[in-house]
Structure 1
Amino acid sequence: MPVPTTGHTTESLTTWLAERIALYLKRQPAEIDPDVPLAEYGLDSVAALSLCGDIEDDFDLVIEPTAAWDYPTVHALAGHLVEELAAEAAKDGGA
């Protein structure tokens, strides 16, 4: 049985994350380099917690508030989200 796809790619999540993070940091999304640690942009715990809330709201996926530090770049966080979304889809598909 094939694993269901979530429709989300690392690229689409990278774009979504860059837009969301830019909003919190009052920057343009193009200013957010996906390979630069978020802490270098000044992402604080309040913004990280808000980002986790947005992820839960938009993707119905609960992640730890420490995710922004566990996966410190946009690319790393996007990769983590793709894995989590795929795991959720597989779990839901197997129910």
Structure 2
Amino acid sequence: MGNITTQEAQDWLIDKIAHRLGVEPSAVPPEQYFDELDLDSTEALILAGEMENWLGFELQTTALWYHPTIKDLAAHLAEEVAQRASA
């Protein structure tokens, strides 16, 4: 996968989360904490799996702990993709 921007990662996350919650993407703020979202653990695992398929690599299990909002995780994902692309 080529580089992704923070905005692309954020849009992807918001679209997927909105779909799972059955709401419009505009109803999911980027500053939303993952633990405040109405996702159960199964949905969260499915989302993580979809994200890994999209990115092409496995996420660290601590990614959501250290990057607890959509915005923070999106920035981390863009950085991680850039690091892997340059390695």
Q: TM over 0.5, yes or no?
A: yes
> Which residue in 1 is equivalent to 2:31?
35
Higher relative contact order (CA 8 A, sep 6+): 2
Identity rate, percent: 36
Contact 2:3 / 2:85 at 8 angstroms: preserved in 1? Answer: no
Q: Measure the CA separation in 1 of the matches of 2:85 and 2:37.
A: 32
The structure-2 alpha-carbon separation of the partners of 1:43 and 1:67, relative to structure 1 and needing over 3 Å to count, comes to farther
Q: Measure the CA separation in 2 of the matches of 1:84 and 1:44.
A: 26
> Which residue in 2 is equivalent to 1:21?
17
Q: Which runs of 5+ in 2 are unaligned?
A: none
One-letter amino acid of the structure 1 residue matched with residue 66 of structure 2: D
Contact 1:48 / 1:65 at 8 angstroms: preserved in 2? Answer: no
Contact 1:36 / 1:73 at 8 angstroms: preserved in 2? Answer: yes
One-letter amino acid of the structure 1 residue matched with residue 14 of structure 2: A
One-letter amino acid of the structure 1 residue matched with residue 15 of structure 2: E
Question: Which structure has the larger Rg?
Answer: 1
CA positional deviation for 1:12 = 1.0
| Residue pairs, 1:60-79, within 5 angstroms | 60-79=56-75
Equivalent pairs, count: 86
Q: Which runs of 5+ in 1 are unaligned?
A: 1-5
The structure-2 alpha-carbon separation of the partners of 1:69 and 1:27, relative to structure 1 and needing over 3 Å to count, comes to farther
Superposition misfits of 4+ residues, deviation over 4 angstroms: none
TM-score by length of 2: 0.84
